Chains A and B, each alone.
Chain A
Amino acid sequence: MPTEPCAAIATVTRVERLALLRLILLQRVFEERALALYRQGRVPGSYYDGRGQEAVAAAAGLALADGDVVCPLNRELAVHFARGASVAEVFRNVLGRATGPTGGRDGNLHFGAPARGVFPLVSMLGDLVPVTVGAALAFRRRGEPRVALTFVGEGAFSVGDTHEGLTLAGVWRVPAVFVLQRNQFSYSTPLARQAVNPSLGERIFGGWSIPCETVDGTDAVWTFDAVRAAVERARTGLGPQAVEVVTLRIHGHAAHDDGAYVPAELRAAYADRDPIDRLALRLALDGVPDEELDALRSHVERDVAAGLAEAEADPPPDPSTLEDGVWAQPPRGKQSGVGGQTPPL
């Protein structure tokens, strides 16, 4: 089947379409590099990528205004780039460098940026739903026209924290947006074993009366249009909003997982739905010359290579700093030692 271009939605400008492509390419090229590094043994732990879902991250990142806040997860690298993270900054975290945003205390995309309104990822999925709702509650209490957004996969939709957070969002009528990532698998568990009703949109509307549009998450233009509309509805005081994005997680849960459990027919259904191809085709139909798209891709590749070189040259963390910053304000007097360390008498 030939690739179908992204929808021709007139309210998404050419500048926005190009910005989406740049963010998607940044995530794709970065993740390909990171996975290669992992295979070379240069990334501690594992690496979690969002192949096939990059358009969702790019769309959500671009849909937010400067004062908005966001809790991205592992599939949403492009959100960090949309909020202003540099390639080097992300690589420093992935590689566990002293200069990274967590200074080697956490890896992968487990980092935030207080100044850019990004909360650091927590691996217990669902936890960030109530946190997002609380940030939105602060905006509502202060009468600020700001929005908080997070992502919920079908796996996290089974978690109690998510249910409690959605309940609070509705009862408190806060400006929160939930992007529901229906990527067909939670680690190895297919959607059919995660929920009776596979439609996250029906569940969030039926259970919590939160309006939800369902879109094709491989279509960056459509997804951006839907998330931006949801963000603006939340901003105007219409309460919590949701967008369900349907994709396929093309890679395994992480670099150590080959995803062999994904049925061949499902893979075949997504073979021609690559978000980059779909958006590039749309831009070509818009009249953007091939050379401009090629230049954009080359630029991104250069940026990723340069960012990696910068991060790799940085030093590892100093073990003597391990106990720094456990508390924002260490209590007075000697502390009972973390890690079994007790101050000598």
Chain B
Amino acid sequence: MTEVTYLEAIRTALADALREDERVFLLGEDIGAFGGAFGVTAGLLEEFGAERVLDTPIAEEGFVGASIGAAWMGERPVVELQFADFATCAFDMIVTVAAKTHWRSGQAVPIVIRCPTGGGVRGGPFHAGSLEGLFVGQPGLKVVCPGTVADAYGLLRAAIDDPDPVLFFEHKALYRRLRDTLPPAGHRVPIGPASVVRAGRDATVVTYGSGVSLALDASARVEAEVEILDLRTVWPLDEDAVLASLERTSRLLVLQEAARSTGAASLVLSLVARHGFELLDAPPALLAPPDTPVPFAPELEDAFLPSEESVVTALEELLAY
């Protein structure tokens, strides 16, 4: 079994999709000879050529829009935004055009928008954001946030197969930090279902993306059986999985890297308030950064981001209630 990084799993998924389906092509800034700002597409231009790996001008609104037009003509474009933060530049195309087209016309828009997301790389306010919350709740979109190597591969393959617009938030801090077995070629992780990555009966951590490995590390240090539910798809939410876990544990911590009033937390907490109230033995807890942009200086960013320590503390408080 080959062991790869999270980044290599994404690259392998792209290469496998390009190899298997001639409708698939990649477009984005500096993804060709340069291999992308993070090297995710390194080597793909050499293997697949300039018609499959297309460098674009700095025009996010333009090339996301062009991906919609190409999808309309039956192609399967996979867009790389250089940073997830740049999704704001393409917001109109994603929310106005891509998301609404099927509902109002029956025309499917099979595009994937890869968004290198998250902090921990000292990127500051414009290069370290977690913007998934802007898209959570938008009818017509699907939002996925892989937190493991296998999901990075399998969710990306599923996203490329999917007939709907999918935002794929791949975490920059996991690119080279996570290392695991590469799933078999062609492996798909269905869009929608959450996954119990650690079973337990004392408390549930609902999380996604960078929160998954953080929760795993933190829960190993707590004197309790902590269940960890990795949402994987944050929109639409797997409501059944959240409530089923809560039935087992009766205590909930929502952990996310997005600032506390954005991300997927509000959706989870709203669900639990409406339909999980009687399952709870303690008020649901939220561990998320404050409502500020992501700061630059290491001292500030470290204080901003959830840490293993802060997750342990939050779990202990939840368990002690």
Contact = CB atoms under 8 A, between A and B. Distances in A.
B73 A133 contact: no
Interface in B292-319: none
Which one of A134, A135, A139 has the highest number of Cβ atoms from chain B below 10 Å of its Cβ?
A134
A327 B164 contact: yes
B102 to A, nearest CB: 5
Contacts of B239: 333-336, 342-343
B97 interface: yes
B93 A168 contact: no
A9 interface: no
B104 A110 contact: yes
Interface in B86-137: 92-93, 96-97, 101-110, 137
Interface in A294-345: 325-329, 331-336, 338, 342-343, 345
Given A141-B51, A164-B59, A331 B233 contact: yes
B64 to A, nearest CB: 7
| Interface bracket on A | 35 or more
Interface string B43-67: 0000000010010110111111111
A327 B140 contact: yes
A168 B107 contact: no
Nearest to B102: A328
Contacts of A333: 192-193, 238-241
Contact of A135 (B57, B69, B93, B238): B69
Nearest to A111: B105
A238 B266 CA distance: 52
B31 to A, nearest CB: 15
A102 interface: yes
A336 B271 contact: yes
Contact of A328 (B65, B69, B163, B192): B163
B74 A134 contact: no
Contact of B69 (A105, A114, A120, A136): A136
A172 B57 CA distance: 10
B243 to A, nearest CB: 7
Interface in A236-263: none
A4 interface: no
Contacts of B92: 124, 127, 161
A2 to B, nearest CB: 45
A138 B233 CA distance: 30
A90 interface: no
Nearest to A106: B104
B175 interface: no
A72 to B, nearest CB: 14
A112 interface: yes
Given A133-B62, A133-B69, A161-B61, A138 B104 contact: no
B65 to A, nearest CB: 3
A130 B106 contact: no
Given A160-B61, A328-B163, A137 B70 contact: yes
Contacts of B64: 130
Interface string A111-144: 1101000011010100101111111111101000
Nearest to B109: A328
Contacts of A138: 69-70, 73-75
A130 B65 contact: yes
A165 interface: yes
B75 A336 contact: no
A69 interface: yes
Given A122-B97, A171-B57, A69 B73 contact: yes
A246 B165 CA distance: 38
Which of B69, B235, B243 counts the most chain A CB atoms within 10 A? B69
Interface of B: 25, 51, 54, 56-57, 59-75, 77, 92-93, 96-97, 101-110, 137, 139-140, 142, 162-164, 190-193, 233, 235-241, 243, 267, 271, 274-275
Given A131-B69, A327-B164, A336-B239, 4 more contacts: A131-B97, A161-B93, A326-B140, A343-B239
